């Protein structure tokens, strides 16, 4: 991975999102002080995951049809989260403004647009969202090495987000892959892992910063890519959801994903559709904290 960092730094803030509410500013300053007090060597470690707080490793997916609905959830999660994911549903409805709203409140933004088009178009899309305030942006590794290289080149500009390549969607299993013509490997699970590894190698060659994969492949990817690789894992389901997977196929608990080597986790419906979202988020943070990779 090109300069992959487990916790990407906040992108440079565009001028219009500089005024954060005082309340959030105060909370963040206080937190920074607490971190320094508890750990005077923070910032001097070699392993980027070491010492990261659980809250830096949880990204809540705001899959909502409007900025109002999304921001209502953000309010309900205040104090529990530092990262929010804006995906296609919210971005197509609310555009860059919702990213700015999140940045104004001091949150980090993962813009999950899963870009997949010809290289020129994807590079243009990366340029279009540069400077808006997202720290992370996704492209589909299935778009190929040339597409990813064009995206990486566009993302080398100041203010551009770090790029993550989505390998095999967590909603897919070996049977679905086989129907797409991807079926190598001696058994079904191997076919998924082999495809994830193949796409990950292409992404690395193309200069992409990190990868999105399921908890089932993250240990193999961690072994292949090393401790610095930024590996983001969706498809998280708390142990007490009684097997509820929604449309996801390759799922795991937060503790399992972290133990297998995930840098950061993406969690949507288990938090946002819960009766008490903050309580579920806090439970997941406790799982992350208890299960250091």
Active site residues: 114
What is the Cα 89 distance to its own chain's centre? Answer: 16
- In whole angstroms, how close is the CB of 200 to ligand C5P at the nearest point? 13
- C-alpha triplet 239, 190, 182: angle, nearest 5°: 110
Minimum CB separation of residue 270 from ligand C5P in Å reads 6
Residues forming contacts to ligand C5P in the complex (CB under 6 A) are 61, 63, 85, 87, 112, 166, 169-170, 212, 234-235, 246, 248, 266-270
CB 201 within 8 A of CB 193: no
Residue number of the CB atom closest to ligand C5P: 268
Minimum distance of ligand C5P from residue 52's CB (angstroms) = 20
CA distance 176 to 233: 20
- The CA distance from 217 to 3, in Å, is 22
The single residue listed with the structure tokens 């296609």 is 88
Tokens of 92: 């197509």
> Which residue, 2 or 269, has its beta carbon nearer to ligand C5P?
269
CA dihedral 209, 212, 216, 221 (to 10 degrees): -10
CA angle 99, 268, 85 (to 5 degrees): 20
Q: Which is nearer to ligand C5P, 71 or 131 (CB)?
A: 71
Q: How far apart are CA 27 and CA 272, in angstroms?
A: 23
For residue 110, what is the DSSP state? E
Contact 42, 167 (CB under 8 A): no
Taking the complex as a whole, the smallest distance from the CB of residue 263 to ligand C5P amounts, in Å, to 14
Q: Closest distance between ligand C5P and the C-beta of residue 77, in Å?
A: 14
Q: Which is nearer to ligand C5P, 21 or 95 (CB)?
A: 95
Nearer to ligand C5P, 155 or 215 (CB): 215
CB of 170 or CB of 253, closer to ligand C5P: 170
């Amino acid at each position: 991975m090109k300069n992959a960092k487990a916790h990407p730094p906040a992108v440079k803030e565009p001028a219009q999102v500089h005024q954060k509410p005082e309340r959030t500013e105060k909370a963040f300053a206080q937190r920074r002080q607490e971190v320094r007090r508890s750990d005077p060597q923070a910032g001097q470690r070699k392993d980027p995951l070491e010492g990261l707080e659980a809250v830096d490793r949880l990204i809540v997916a705001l899959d909502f049809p409007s900025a109002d609905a999304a921001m209502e959830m953000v309010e309900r999660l205040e104090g529990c989260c530092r990262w929010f994911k804006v995906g296609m549903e919210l971005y197509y409805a609310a555009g860059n403004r919702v990213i700015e709203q999140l940045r104004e409140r001091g949150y980090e933004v993962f813009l999950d647009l899963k870009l997949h088009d010809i290289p020129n178009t994807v590079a243009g899309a990366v340029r279009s969202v540069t400077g808006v305030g997202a720290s992370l942006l996704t492209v589909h590794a299935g778009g190929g090495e040339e597409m990813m290289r064009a995206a990486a080149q566009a993302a080398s500009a100041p203010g551009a987000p770090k790029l993550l390549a989505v390998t095999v969607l967590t909603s897919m299993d070996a049977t679905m892959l086989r129907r797409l013509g991807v079926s190598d490997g001696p058994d079904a699970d191997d076919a998924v892992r082999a495809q994830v590894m193949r796409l990950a190698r292409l992404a690395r060659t193309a200069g992409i910063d990190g990868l999105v994969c399921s908890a089932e492949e993250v240990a193999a990817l961690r072994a292949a890519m090393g401790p610095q690789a930024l590996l983001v894992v969706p498809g998280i389901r708390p142990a007490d959801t009684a097997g509820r997977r929604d449309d996801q196929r390759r799922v795991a608990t937060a503790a399992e994903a972290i133990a297998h080597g995930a840098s950061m986790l993406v969690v949507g419906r288990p938090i946002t559709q819960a009766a008490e979202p903050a309580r579920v988020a806090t439970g997941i943070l406790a799982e992350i904290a208890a299960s250091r990779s």
